[in-house]
């Protein structure tokens, strides 16, 4: 499956992007392609597909990084900021907080490029937004 | 319980570990079966509807033919009466009565078929909606499981470089520092570039004699020679 995603991502024109990135299949997981963004390698964008969606996810932090008693207020801030973040939304799986964007699986390379670029910059914004609540 | 609430219940119940199924594998199979069945019934309903519509067109055509014929025979009856042939007129009237009965039957069939068609169309729409609902639900399960799997992979393989896991705050600080460094480097680079193009330009100006430079000595000599010649 990752081959299809990779083929799609390889069509993205790097010259049109303001960020530099490399693609690499995730070791040991055939369903995920990681986009490693230059200078923010700490937050790789993980791309996976379902039947008709392309889901791009960035792990932000784990629940145990949240300061004691700060969770409610942080959630409030996240929900309030959700709409203002272009193309991306906050999500949570298990104890992992993430930022994600979903595209139609039929998206053009240009749209995927925009999604990657936006998600990369939103990631830094998102963490800066909640950094007061993190240990 | 809807699939979505099943998913939510499973997630809240902590079914977020790797490999743990969000919904029963059996349920997924049942859903796939339901999708196939509903699709088949939609297909059947669509074919049935087409047959009904064709039938309705047939009855409608027959009805039109019959009312044309009735008008025609009504004309004949009037003509027979005009000629004073009461017997012929009665015979024509009987024919008209037969035709009218047949017309009524056909019109009745058209009305009935139209009702059936409307019901069938409704049924078809409902079935189609059901197929879409099933498909959406099946996708929901598959997407959740896929995302879950991805998330599990993320916690075991966080950094691409294989470096040790860092807190988000530390990572952000490091990225910010790196960005600042890059900006500084950029500014320094720009300064350097400005300086080098500046000196380059000066050299060119001097070479063309516009500014002071190698031409200066020649000028002085020329002036001195001019003085001497006076």
Question: Is the sign of the CA dihedral A126, A132, A133, A135 positive or negative?
Answer: positive
Taking the CA of residue B54 as centre, how many other CA atoms within 13 Å lie in the half-sphere pointing to its CB?
Answer: 6
Identify any residues that bridge with A66 across adjacent strands, giving them in sequence order.
A134
CATH code of residue B126: 1.10.287
Contact criterion met (CB < 8 Å) for B147 and A57? yes
Where are the alpha helices (H) located in chain B, listed in sequence order?
A: 3-12, 25-82, 86-156, 168-207, 215-229
The Cα A22–Cα A27 span in angstroms is 15
User: Given the DSSP bridges, would you call strands A89-93 and A21-25 parallel, antiparallel or unpaired?
Assistant: unpaired
In Å, how far is A129's CA from the nearest CA of chain B? 11
The region, left, alpha or beta by phi > 0 then psi within -120 to 50, assigned to residue A13 is: beta
Write out pLDDT tens, residues A96-108: 899 999 999 889 9
What's the total number of domains in chain B? 2
User: Chain B residue closest to A134 (CA)?
Assistant: B169
Instruction: Provide the pLDDT for residue B70.
Output: 96
Shared domain check, B179 and B141: no
For B63, residues 6+ apart whose C-beta sits below 8 A from its C-beta are: B103, B106, B107, B110
| Among the partner residues B154, B166, B175, nearest to A46 by beta-carbon distance | B154
Helix, strand, coil percentages for chain A (3-state, nearest 5): 40, 30, 30
User: Given the DSSP bridges, would you call strands A89-93 and A96-104 parallel, antiparallel or unpaired?
Assistant: antiparallel
- pLDDT tens per residue across all 230 residues of chain B: 677 787 777 777 765 554 556 677 777 788 888 889 889 989 999 999 999 999 999 999 999 999 999 999 999 999 999 999 999 999 999 999 999 999 999 999 999 999 999 999 998 998 898 888 888 888 888 888 888 777 777 765 444 444 446 788 888 888 888 888 888 888 888 787 777 776 677 777 777 777 765 556 677 777 888 887 76
Shared domain check, B128 and B39: yes
The Cα A99–Cα A88 span in angstroms is 6
Domain boundary among B97, B131, B156: B156
Structure tokens at A18: 């303001």
In Å, how far is B12's CA from the nearest CA of chain A? 9
Is B120 a domain residue?
Answer: yes
Is B162 a domain residue?
Answer: no
8 A C-beta contact, residue B73 and residue B96? yes
The CA dihedral of A88, A93, A96, A100, to the nearest 10 degrees, is -10
Q: Is A135 on the interface with B (CB under 8 A)?
A: yes
For B14, residues 6+ apart whose C-beta sits below 8 A from its C-beta are: none
Chain A window 5-24: which residues touch B at a Cβ cutoff of 8 Å?
A: 24
Residue position matching structure tokens 């993430």: A98
What's the total number of domains in chain A? 1
Shared domain check, B46 and B137: yes
| Among the partner residues A59, A128, A131, nearest to B154 by beta-carbon distance | A59
Q: Is A96 on the interface with B (CB under 8 A)?
A: yes
Domain boundary among B125, B156, B187: B156
Domain boundary among B91, B124, B156: B156
User: Chain A residue closest to B146 (CA)?
Assistant: A50
By three-state DSSP, how is residue A100 classified?
Answer: strand
Contact criterion met (CB < 8 Å) for A127 and B169? yes
Domain of residue A66 covers: 2-133
Shared domain check, B112 and B189: no
Is B31 a domain residue?
Answer: yes
Identify any residues that bridge with A57 across adjacent strands, giving them in sequence order.
A46, A100
Instruction: Provide the pLDDT for residue B54.
Output: 95
Contact criterion met (CB < 8 Å) for A29 and B157? yes
The Cα B121–Cα B115 span in angstroms is 10
Contact criterion met (CB < 8 Å) for A50 and B174? no
Domain of residue B179 covers: 168-229
Is the predicted ipTM greater than 0.85, yes or no?
Answer: no
Instruction: Provide the pLDDT for residue A104.
Output: 92
CATH code of residue A83: 3.30.1460.10
């Amino acid at each position: 499956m990752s081959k299809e995603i990779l083929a799609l991502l390889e069509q993205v024109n790097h010259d049109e992007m303001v960020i530099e990135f490399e693609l690499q299949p995730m070791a040991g997981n055939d369903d995920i392609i990681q986009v490693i963004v230059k200078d923010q390698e700490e937050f790789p964008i993980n791309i996976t597909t379902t039947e008709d969606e392309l889901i791009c996810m960035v792990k932000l932090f784990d629940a145990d990084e949240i300061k004691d008693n700060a969770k409610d207020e942080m959630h409030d801030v996240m929900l309030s900021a959700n709409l203002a973040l272009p193309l991306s939304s906050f999500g949570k799986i298990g104890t992992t907080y993430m930022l994600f964007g979903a595209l139609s699986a039929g998206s053009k390379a240009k749209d995927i490029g925009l999604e990657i670029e936006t998600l990369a910059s939103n990631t830094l914004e998102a963490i800066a937004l909640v950094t007061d609540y993190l240990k | 319980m809807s699939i979505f609430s099943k998913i939510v219940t499973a997630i809240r119940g902590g079914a977020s570990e790797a490999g743990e199924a969000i919904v029963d594998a059996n349920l997924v199979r049942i859903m796939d079966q339901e999708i196939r069945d509903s699709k088949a019934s939609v297909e059947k309903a669509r074919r049935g509807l087409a047959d009904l519509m064709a039938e309705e067109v047939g009855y409608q055509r027959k009805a039109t033919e019959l009312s044309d014929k009735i008008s025609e025979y009504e004309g004949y009856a009037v003509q027979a009466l005009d000629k004073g042939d009461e017997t012929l007129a009665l015979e024509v009237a009987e024919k008209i009565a037969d035709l009218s009965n047949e017309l009524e039957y056909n019109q009745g069939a058209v009305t009935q078929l139209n009702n059936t068609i409307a019901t069938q169309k409704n049924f078809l729409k409902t079935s189609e909606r059901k197929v879409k609902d099933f498909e959406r639900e099946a996708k929901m399960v598959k997407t959740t499981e896929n995302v879950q799997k991805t998330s599990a992979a993320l916690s075991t393989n966080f950094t691409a470089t294989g470096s040790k896991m860092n807190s988000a705050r530390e990572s952000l600080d490091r990225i910010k520092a790196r960005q600042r460094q890059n900006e500084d480097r950029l500014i320094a680079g720009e300064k350097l570039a400005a300086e080098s193009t500046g000196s380059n330009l000066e050299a060119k100006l001097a070479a063309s004699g516009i500014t002071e430079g190698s031409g200066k000595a020649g000028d002085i000599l020329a002036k001195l020679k001019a003085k001497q010649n006076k």
